[in-house]
Structure 1
Amino acid sequence: MRFTSLAIVTFLLGLTDALQDHGSQRASARRHHAVAQAQQHEARATLPEARYGLDRSKPIRGVNLGNWLITESWMMPQFYFDAQTSSAALVDEYSWIKAHSNRQDAYDKLRSHYSSYMTEDDFKLMQAYGLNAVRIPVPYWTLEDSAPSSDEIYFFKGGRPQLRQALLWCKKYGIDVVLDLHAAPGSQNAYDNSGSRKGVFWQTKQSYYDRTITALTTMVDFYVNNQTYGGVVKAIITMNEPLVGSNWISLDLLQKFNKAAYRAIRGRVSAAKGAQVMPTVYFSNSIIGTDPWMPWIQQNYADGTFIKGTIGFDLHRYQSFTPYNAYSHDEHINHTCKQSTNLAKVQAVLPVFIGEMSDGVALRCVDYRDCVGRTMQQDINTLNTKTNNYFARRFWEAQRIIYEQSSGGWFFWSWKTVCASAWSYRDSVQQVWLPQNPNERVYVPDSAESAAGQCVSRKPNRGIAFRTTSS
């Protein structure tokens, strides 16, 4: 393609930024298998395994840093609706950037967003709220140095400095990090959280597959093989919510990829280059349940490809989509309590954590234009009747109890939003839908309720002082 001067400048800036990251030489996705095996054995011999999600004495209590390095319109409507973009129905970050007549304006806005949306005060507050982990969605374009291809020119590769800073803050405040490859080349799901809703094309090109492997090994080079971060990265998710189906990605291809990703990640980790822990490799179950995966997991255990305690499942548990969004309050609670059996069954085979969940039972701002100008308090006021306030707290307690008792723990989506209160951990705590101390419970079931399978009581054991209540 014919590059514009802006594209050339952006490319050169990306190369300059890469020099600041430790071990910035990119790994080939097709390294010789024998070399990879040798590197794995060296790393295993000198590094402790993170075994992330297996320490039941320290459940994962985390939040996603959503809408940061990958923006989502429903999480900050006003950002997507301004003088340059107000006439467009934007569906993803790619179309938002493309809608700008001057692409540099969009890049400047994103650079400012990266710097201001997550600050040290956020991580300090997470620690104060008893959180011990963050799941950071990272797009592939943040990890690449090459000039973009013609179909990817509207992605901005400017998030690395802020990601580096976030890891240092996590180290400072004792917060573990899970790095999640949230967007893969070609899009693995055609959701807005992949950056592009044009379609699922990841499976259509070998180069997309190879670049995804390279993005993961680059992630290791920059953020694991770097003693500056003190071993804060405890797990890496190979790909977020890949869409499996006859018209999308086949399960066979995805399993092949995950096996290759596992080998590539572990083969790349090096104590000699600064790594202090071997991160656990987590796979998305692709929202198809865990049963289709179990024969493959067991076979790879049996032949020695996977070592027990070194892999896990990243499961997502939302009750805001069909059919769950039609549930009554009691049905939401019952559905949550009943998850314990299946989760415990999977946890017996490999670690599991709930990588995404929320306190919301309805979607917000599906068309972001409907929420332009809405404040957080205005959104809270649509949900803060006495009945809803008490349900929000009860629903939260049910989820926390089940996900900590039957899995490795949880990551709330998200740490914050602009105006979707039940999806903002920070604002839900301030409204007292969630307790500031995660250990606090006011819905402890009595013996009869426990015997009936209830993980929370029907009524609170004491009063709750919600910040606001509407009639």
Structure 2
Amino acid sequence: MLSKPLITALLAFASARIAQCIPLESKDESTRHSRRWLPSVDKIRGVNLGSQFIIEPWMAYDEWNSMGCGSTNDEWQCVKALGQDAADAAFKKHWDSWTTQDDITQIKSLGLNTVRIPVGFWLKEDLVYDSEYYPRGGLAYLDRLVGWCADAGLYVIMDLHGGPGVQTPNQQFTGHSVSYPGFYTQENYERAYELLEWMAERIHTNDSYRTVGTLQVMNEPVHASDYSSLAADMIANFYPGAWNRIRDREDKLGVSSSDRLHIQMMGKAWGSGDPSSHLPDTTSALYDDHRYYKWDTSVTTTQDGYISAVCQDNRGGSDIIVGEWSIAVADAVASSDEFQIGDQAAWYGKYWAAQAQTFEKSGGWVFWTWKCNWIGGVNDWRWCYQSAVAAGVIPRDAASAASISPC
């Protein structure tokens, strides 16, 4: 668990480096492994770069169609349908254009300090079996993207979003929507470990990754209420195994204790159990919390009901980052007069501010997502930070939430 003194030291270090205009990692090998930094403010304020490396057709429909994937549900199906070479070409065009350097510049200009980058295990192509269907060639685009983030001074959370064998059933974000999660085997744990080791080494040895400070070992695994034995095995075996493999690789690289990565797991609120219960250590551990009031059936689905639920919420301590959230509301009321986006922009602005303020009681927040591409160009900005800013719903200064929150 991150202590207050550790956070204070990390933030003070980052502020000093920025103020002195000194690169966060010196070219001098004797000082290359400087302190692994956090943003130069006291809270994470960021956006996810969703559908950059794992496309979710529900939020990128027109893009998906333009790639020739419109009749398929996920990346696996698209690659299988198009054939490997044609799929690789289509995905490279997407990777090249979905998130641009102008996007990164704009993110920085809006007072955001962090991006979370969801990736699939297939980014390390030698981990993919001949019987699996995933696009190839994404690494060069990731290298370019994190370099842009580093140049802009944006902190990066690298998120293993799609695991080998699939960690959650029936979800496009895994890259392969299947009915049963096959991740929870020693064979697939090993593939994930190899990806995490490889990524940790890349972060510490490739200058483009110099502002990547957190490595999330698995996004949204199964809930214990649905798959109790799988969740228990992950807590007992996968999390400590991932922790040890990352730390062992850092030891082999000679990484100083002050420069080690923050290792992130889904927190207890996710419902898979206590991720720290079998860890050998929790120094520089972070926990991810995804809070979508849209899906919370205990919330009264009125404007006052949503605001009340948000303002009364508290997600935990400074080691918890709310890594996904939106300003969407329940489907049953989303098109009603009370929540119609064409007329209720002012209320949605308060809803955003209330959530941002609430999540800053913890370690901060990362909105889902930066960019969307709906069917026929429909502009539903409840999921899309960029278009919500353009619509005047989210302010141009991410730090202004407290001054406009109704809480």
TM-score normalized with structure 1 length: 0.70
2:198 matches 1:218: yes
1:80 aligned partner: 64
Q: Is the 8 A contact 2:222 2:231 kept in 1?
A: no
SS of 2:398's partner is coil
2:211 aligned partner: 232
Tell which structure's C-alpha radius of gyration is larger: 1
Q: Is the 8 A contact 2:74 2:172 kept in 1?
A: yes
Q: For residue 82 of structure 1, report the CA deviation from its aligned partner.
A: 5.7
Q: Is the 8 A contact 1:416 1:427 kept in 2?
A: yes
The one of 307, 310, 313 equivalent to 1:339 is: 313
1:415 aligned partner: 370
The one of 231, 234, 248 equivalent to 1:251 is: 231
CA distance in 2, matches of 1:249, 1:182: 21
SS of 2:399's partner is coil
2:384 aligned partner: 424
- Residues 431, 83 of structure 1: alpha-carbon distance in 2 compared, 3 angstrom cutoff: closer
1:358 aligned partner: 326
Q: Is the 8 A contact 1:93 1:196 kept in 2?
A: yes
Q: Is the 8 A contact 2:243 2:263 kept in 1?
A: yes
CA distance in 1, matches of 2:233, 2:251: 28
2:113 aligned partner: 132
CA distance in 2, matches of 1:215, 1:410: 26
- Residues 157, 334 of structure 1: alpha-carbon distance in 2 compared, 3 angstrom cutoff: same
SS of 1:416's partner is coil
Once the two structures are superposed, what CA deviation does each residue of 1:136-191 show, in whole Å capped at 9, x if it has no partner? 001000023256331x1x20121101100111111110000100000011000021
2:25 aligned partner: none
Q: Is the 8 A contact 2:114 2:156 kept in 1?
A: yes
2:168 matches 1:208: no
Matches within 5 A, 1:437-456: 437-441=397-401, 444=404, 456=406
SS of 1:439's partner is helix
Matches within 5 A, 1:51-450: 57-81=41-65, 85-86=69-70, 88=71, 90-100=72-82, 102-146=83-127, 148-150=129-131, 152=132, 154-190=133-169, 191-203=171-183, 205-226=185-206, 228-229=207-208, 231-245=210-224, 247=227, 250-255=230-235, 256-269=237-250, 272=253, 277-285=259-267, 288-289=270-271, 292-293=273-274, 297=276, 300=279, 305-308=280-283, 310-323=284-297, 327-340=301-314, 343-344=315-316, 347=317, 351-362=319-330, 383-386=340-343, 388-404=344-360, 406-419=361-374, 420-441=380-401, 444=404
CA distance in 1, matches of 2:163, 2:402: 42
Q: For residue 270 of structure 1, report the CA deviation from its aligned partner.
A: 5.3
Q: Is the 8 A contact 1:186 1:200 kept in 2?
A: no
Q: For residue 271 of structure 1, report the CA deviation from its aligned partner.
A: 8.7
Give, as a single letter, the amino acid of the residue that structure 1 aligns with 2:342: T
Q: Is the 8 A contact 1:50 1:235 kept in 2?
A: no
Q: For residue 268 of structure 1, report the CA deviation from its aligned partner.
A: 1.2
Runs of 4+ that moved beyond 6 A: 273-276
CA distance in 2, matches of 1:230, 1:128: 21
Q: Is the 8 A contact 1:186 1:202 kept in 2?
A: yes
SS of 2:89's partner is helix
SS of 1:393's partner is helix
Q: For residue 324 of structure 1, report the CA deviation from its aligned partner.
A: 6.1
CA distance in 2, matches of 1:146, 1:289: 29
- How large is the Cα RMSD of the aligned pairs? 3.0
- Residues 84, 272 of structure 1: alpha-carbon distance in 2 compared, 3 angstrom cutoff: closer
Give, as a single letter, the amino acid of the residue that structure 2 aligns with 1:354: V
Give, as a single letter, the amino acid of the residue that structure 2 aligns with 1:164: D
Q: For residue 122 of structure 1, report the CA deviation from its aligned partner.
A: 0.6
Q: Is the 8 A contact 1:167 1:229 kept in 2?
A: yes
Once the two structures are superposed, what CA deviation does each residue of 1:397-455 show, in whole Å capped at 9, x if it has no partner? 10111111x111100111111134211111111111100012335865xxxxxxxxxx6
Percent of aligned pairs with the same amino acid: 26
Give, as a single letter, the amino acid of the residue that structure 2 aligns with 1:72: E
Give, as a single letter, the amino acid of the residue that structure 1 aligns with 2:369: S
Q: For residue 289 of structure 1, report the CA deviation from its aligned partner.
A: 4.0
Q: Is the 8 A contact 2:267 2:287 kept in 1?
A: yes
Q: How many residues align?
A: 362
CA distance in 2, matches of 1:184, 1:353: 21
